[in-house]
Amino acid sequence: MTRAVHYTATIDLARPMGDRPAGGLSVRAAPKGEHQAGAALLPAERPAAYRVPFEVDRFGAERIELRNASSDVLRWVTIDLMGPGHFVAQTPTRLEPGQVLAVWLFGDDLARQTKVQVTWFFQGAQYLWLVSL
């Protein structure tokens, strides 16, 4: 008789790099069926949710503005386009509370095929958010 062992890999992005295991990846053997039961894989001290700190204003298909609606300073805010098209953005390294980041978009049929990915750091963790056009 063969006993099945399932492995679960987790990457905890909420922990600073210095506190992570080598390579940032931890692997543990899980009893058979644990992955199906939805067992918690992240440390209990990690918050369950983090409110997205942005408000989005759309100006047609060619421009969006992201406003930092939180009371926190967001660091290393970057923009990436997921799909066809190209963009121009004034990407600050910091986004103060209330500060706006404008993104100009160029391309055909952007609303159907393209999303804007916003990435930022807050309290030592990296977050990303996809914005539909």
Which among 98, 132, 95, 92 is positioned nearest to 114, based on CA atoms? 132
If one compares 48 and 22, the residue with the highest pLDDT of the two is 48
Helix, strand, coil percentages (3-state) for the chain, rounded to 5, are 10, 45, 45
- Are 79 and 47 in contact, with CB atoms under 8 Å apart? no
* pLDDT over threshold 80, residue 39: no
| Residue 119: strand, helix, or coil | strand
Give the model's pLDDT for residue 61.
73
Give Cα separations from 20 to 1, 17, 23, 47, 63 (angstroms). Answer: 37, 5, 8, 17, 39
Cα 34–chain centre separation: 27
pLDDT-derived band at 43, boundaries 50, 70, 90? low
Average the pLDDT over 21-50 and give the result: 52
d(CA 116, CA 105): 9
Q: Is the dihedral of CA 35, 39, 44, 47 positive or negative?
A: positive
Residue 23 pLDDT exceeds 70? no
Mean pLDDT to the nearest integer, 21-43: 48
Answer with the residue of higher pLDDT: 38 or 116: 116
DSSP 71: S
Q: How far is CA 5 from CA 30, 55, 69, in A?
A: 7, 45, 46
Residue 74: the pLDDT is 92
Answer whether 0.75 is exceeded by the pTM: no
